[in-house]
Amino acid sequence: QVQLVESGGGLVQPGGSLRLSCAASGIDFRIYTMGWYRQAPGKQRELVATITSGGTTNYADSVKGRFTISGDNAKNTVYLQINSLEPEDTAVYYCNANNLLSGYYARRYWGQGIQVTVSS
C-alpha cells in the first residue's frame, strides 16, 4: 500500500521559511523520482521540484534558489525546504512519486496536499 503524507505546511509571513515533509510509505526511492507540485486556486498544478534516486534535483524557475528538495532514505521521507517565501508561493503543495514508466507499469502517486499560505 502506497501512501504519501505531507506535513509542515501552514501560514507564514513573506520572507519566512518552512519545511514540508512527505512520508512515503511503500515507495522505493531506488526506482522512483520524487517531486513536489503545487496548485493555487484557479491555476493548474505545476511542478516545483524533483529529486531522482541518484540525488539529481530539478526546480521550477520561480523557486530556484529559494526552495531545496532533499530526501532521507532511512526515513523514506522527502523534504522541501522553502525560504524567502512570497505571496505567490501560496498554494496547496503535493508530494508525488513517479516511476518514470509508461503504460501498464506506470506508477504515479500523490499525497493529499498541504496548504501553504504566505501572508502578512
86 DSSP assignment: -
Which pLDDT belongs to residue 72? 94
SS3 103: helix
pLDDT, tens digit, 9 for 90 and up, residues 9-51:
999 999 999 999 999 999 999 999 999 999 999 999 999 999 9
Number of CB atoms found within 10 A of residue 113's CB? 18
pLDDT, tens digit, 9 for 90 and up, residues 50-108:
999 999 999 999 999 999 999 999 999 999 999 999 999 999 999 999 999 999 999 99
Closest CA to 64 of 82, 40, 46, 78: 82
CA 57 to chain centre: 12
Contact criterion met (CB below 8 Å) for 56 and 75: no
Q: Which residues pair with 118 in a beta bridge?
A: 12
